[in-house]
Structure 1
Amino acid sequence: MRIPFIKQSTINYRRMARQQGMPFIDWLHGYLYGRFAYQYIGMAGDKKPWWRYLMAPLVLLLDRHSPFQPTDQSRTGDPGQEKPTFADTYHGKALPLAEATKLIRLDRAVNTSVSEQVLPYTRAREIVLNNPEKIVLLDCPCRAGMKNPCTPIDVCLLVGEPFCSFMLEHHPDKTREIDTDEAVRILKAENARGHVAHAFFKDVMLGRFYAICNCCSCCCGAMKAQRMGVQMLCSSGYLAEVDQETCVGCGLCAEKCQFKAIGFRGGMAFIRAKRCMGCGVCVEACSKDALSLRLAPEKGEPLRVDAL
């Protein structure tokens, strides 16, 4: 029997969590993450409202895999070294524009777990999509938490159920359902602004892919965490490279790069390989076709949508 004051999307989310054996505390964490997304994710912003001081300890209390616990050896690669595990529970994969577009336009059912070579994390690596899929456009919680955010704000793409219906019901003023054509237009427009598409995964969101966010280094909480040493984002598996014979040293690629991975020497661009995440924003921005992406096995494997 349906309880009148509980939304149907909440019931559906709880049912799916039970089916996959998710503990109640994890489901509750996921519920709060979605229901209070602007408070939860907005903690990384600079508006500093009063609820920030209540939300932070609550998140740490609910997260059984706290930032103070060590990871396993497969994550660190060094049995003598301990690193925080928060990134294992919540992380993003950089996507070149072409791959992000393919992920939005999937025309068949997909139910798979990607390897640690693609997503180097111990948790949240599932991609579960059915045909047809629902896509919801969401006001970015990171940008909404900033005093002077990048615009536009409605740039986050939620993909699949039960996430889409949940956010539509609980945040009707900040969401709307869109079709694949509009989603692709948003991806292209954000890429042209220099913003990076990331496929996001979270353990308490049924342990799987649930959103494509278009991230800027000034607003994005994950990018801020990355600069602080919390590896929430992983490389696309590609590395940008410069054709020195074609480059004219205009500097547009460096202006667009969110990772400060492009420098200039002798009037020509060069790539700082350690910083480059292979997002391809610079490639799309270059009018001289002087930049390209190459496979970089040392940075992991790409999330190849065709292979799903």
Structure 2
Amino acid sequence: MHIPFIKPSTRNYFRMARSQGMPLFDRLHGYVYGRFAYHYIGMAGDKKPWWRFLLAPLVMLLNRHSPFLPTKGSSTGDPAQEKPTFADTYHGKAMPLAEASKLVRLDRPVSTRVSEQVLPYTRARDIVLANPEKIVLLDCPCRSGMKNPCTPIDVCLLVGEPFCSFMLEHHPDKTRQIDADEAVRILKAENARGHVAHAFFKDVILGRFYAICNCCACCCGAMKAQRAGVQMLCSSGYLAEVDQDACSGCGTCVRLCQFKAVGLRQGKAFIRAKRCMGCGVCEQACAKSAITLRLAPEKGEPLRVDAL
């Protein structure tokens, strides 16, 4: 049935979600998430608008009662796990600059399934990019919800359909379509500011990767949740290491690390392994090339774009 006042991108989203067997409740959840992104995500900010107190219970209800939540023990295979976490349905994976740049340069459709070690959550393990050449730049909902946000605001990269067209149609004042070259320039500029590229996944966005967000600890809702014990972010699968002989002790890596994983000891940088997410910001920033990333199987497998 064609309803003239419903935008084409909305019809396309519901059609694709229904074809995947997504329950109506979750289809509506996905619509609310995209249509009211600045309310939904902006609640983590410090502006505290009046509608926050009305919308917060709805968002909690949508996430708590999602039929897509895994059953007991299914997230990790551990029967001792009593219930799934919020991160089972909504999370981000840190990506070094080189891999994030590859992800926005994909020139062919990709449909594959990645392992639990790459994305250690039950839902959102499908990487599905229809029309990967379509990239939309979005004003960051997290930064938009802050009184004094980091700048620039327009740093979130949406990749693929149907989400790109959906956000262009519903948020024309906060979005614009860009090419891969501009996307890479934005990734590099944000990396130089110390901001972390995360590939974000959400179950009701067709259970797939849909955005690369450039996250700062002061504004990002996912980073704030991480500090509060909600594991919304997972490691890139790499761990930073410092060559003590090459390190000059300048402290740039300490200043830029969003996870407080780098410290100085006796005039040399060192890595707090438990905190390190392997984002590579410190590696890129080190003028002496004293920091490198190594594979860290204990932290999961990296999302290697070439392997897709």
TM range (shorter): over 0.9
SS in 2 for 1:176: strand
Superposition pairs for residues 108-127 of structure 1, below 5 Å?
108-127=108-127
Superposition pairs for residues 96-245 of structure 1, below 5 Å?
96-131=96-131, 133-245=133-245
Preserved contact between residue 71 and residue 85 of structure 1 (Cα < 8 Å) = no
SS in 1 for 2:167: helix
Aligned letter for 2:202? K
CA distance in 2, matches of 1:199, 1:58: 25
Alignment: residue pair count: 306
Q: Deviations over 1:146-197 (max 9, x none)?
A: 0000000000000011100000000000000000000000000000000000
Aligned to 1:55: 55
CA distance in 2, matches of 1:11, 1:81: 38
Once the two structures are overlaid, the 10-residue window that deviates more, 75-84 or 107-116, is 75-84
SS in 2 for 1:306: helix
Once the two structures are overlaid, the 10-residue window that deviates more, 21-30 or 81-90, is 81-90
Aligned to 1:86: 86
Aligned to 1:260: 260
Structure 1 residue 84, shift from structure 2 partner: 4.7
Structure 1 residue 132, shift from structure 2 partner: 5.2
Preserved contact between residue 76 and residue 82 of structure 1 (Cα < 8 Å) = no
CA distance in 2, matches of 1:280, 1:70: 32
Aligned letter for 1:130? A
CA distance in 2, matches of 1:13, 1:56: 24
In structure 2, relative to structure 1, the CA distance for the partners of 1:73 and 1:132 (3 Å cut) is: closer
In structure 2, relative to structure 1, the CA distance for the partners of 1:233 and 1:178 (3 Å cut) is: same
SS in 1 for 2:274: coil
Structure 1 residue 133, shift from structure 2 partner: 2.4
TM-score w.r.t. length of structure 2: 0.96
CA distance in 1, matches of 2:9, 2:70: 35
Aligned to 1:46: 46
Aligned letter for 2:172? P
Preserved contact between residue 235 and residue 299 of structure 1 (Cα < 8 Å) = yes
Structure 1 residue 95, shift from structure 2 partner: 0.2
Aligned letter for 1:164? C
Preserved contact between residue 234 and residue 277 of structure 1 (Cα < 8 Å) = yes
Preserved contact between residue 70 and residue 85 of structure 1 (Cα < 8 Å) = no
CA distance in 1, matches of 2:195, 2:13: 31
CA distance in 2, matches of 1:98, 1:155: 17
Gaps in structure 1 of 5+ consecutive residues: none
CA distance in 1, matches of 2:16, 2:76: 32
Preserved contact between residue 132 and residue 159 of structure 2 (Cα < 8 Å) = no
Gaps in structure 2 of 5+ consecutive residues: none
CA distance in 1, matches of 2:22, 2:70: 22
Aligned letter for 1:46? D
Aligned letter for 1:248? S
Q: RMSD of the alignment, in Å?
A: 1.5
Structure 1 residue 5, shift from structure 2 partner: 1.3
Aligned to 2:22: 22
Structure 1 residue 71, shift from structure 2 partner: 6.1
Indicate the percent of aligned positions where both proteins have the same amino acid: 84
Q: Deviations over 1:38-66 (max 9, x none)?
A: 00000100000011111111112222457
CA distance in 2, matches of 1:154, 1:88: 27
Structure 1 residue 130, shift from structure 2 partner: 3.4
